[in-house]
């Protein structure tokens, strides 16, 4: 069974779930709108530029989780899925997932976006497993801190290697689909790296390495 690994935001989705979660919180009045919107945009721009300080971003993005109970957060997330995620689901992404499913591959999403936001999306997409940045949970409440290694850049490699050791899977004949140059460390590890609606930096690197480009838009 080969691994088919997928980035989530701007790869399987036609948008960024982390960024949209921030927008949702602002629109619903759950956070200080002007400041939060400004910071959310700044972090998103830094992510695209490859200059993001992941720990600074996580202190920002996980803070709202720590300020509310799980039941409330889950209610918000159901509304978020309906209002923000359903509209960026990509039919071509569903077909790609089904192609790998039909081939008997194990479908794995690996994403920097935290698991509170992304686990329900992965369930909706019908993948076998998700590796995401994990918010710390103590006594049934989020603390605002991150648990373990953030699943970002080289952290994706670390988290994947940990999961491979635990799960018994390996990277023989593996695939990885991503839009972002932030995922170059992991793209270099797999048998079949694929650039998906790639940013300029990844597109140029893919051309140099002879990697295929596809679009799911």
- Which residues are marked as active site? 7, 9
Sign, CA dihedral 135-140-141-145, equals: negative
**Residue 23 and residue 36: Cα distance in Å, rounded?**
9
Mutual angle of helices 17-27 and 33-49, in 10-degree steps: 170
Contacts of 1 (CB under 8 A, 6+ apart): 104, 105, 106, 169
Question: Which residues lie closer than 8 Å to 187 by C-beta, 6 or more apart?
Answer: 176, 178, 193, 195, 202, 211
Token pair belonging to 102: 């039909």
Can you tell me the distance from the alpha carbon of 188 to that of 193, in angstroms, rounded to the nearest whole number? 7
């Amino acid at each position: 069974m080969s691994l088919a690994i997928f980035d989530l935001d701007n790869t399987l989705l036609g948008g960024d779930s982390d960024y949209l979660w921030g927008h949702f919180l602002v629109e619903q009045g759950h956070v200080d709108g002007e400041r939060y919107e400004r910071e959310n945009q700044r972090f998103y721009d830094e992510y695209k530029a490859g200059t993001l300080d992941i720990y600074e971003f996580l202190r920002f993005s996980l803070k709202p989780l720590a300020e509310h109970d799980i039941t409330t957060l889950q209610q918000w997330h159901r509304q978020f899925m309906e209002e923000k995620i359903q509209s960026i689901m990509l039919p071509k992404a569903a077909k790609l997932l089904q192609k790998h499913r039909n081939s008997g591959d194990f479908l794995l999403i690996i994403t920097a976006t935290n698991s509170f936001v992304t686990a329900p999306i992965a369930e909706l997409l019908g993948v076998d497993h998700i590796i995401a940045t994990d918010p710390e949970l103590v006594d049934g409440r989020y603390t605002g801190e991150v648990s373990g290694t953030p699943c970002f850049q080289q952290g994706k490699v670390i988290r994947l290697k940990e999961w491979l050791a635990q799960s018994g899977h390996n990277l023989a004949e593996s695939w990885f689909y991503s839009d972002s140059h932030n995922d170059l460390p992991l793209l270099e590890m797999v048998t079949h790296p694929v650039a998906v609606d790639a940013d300029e930096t990844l597109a140029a690197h893919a051309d140099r390495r002879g990697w295929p480009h596809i679009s799911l838009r």
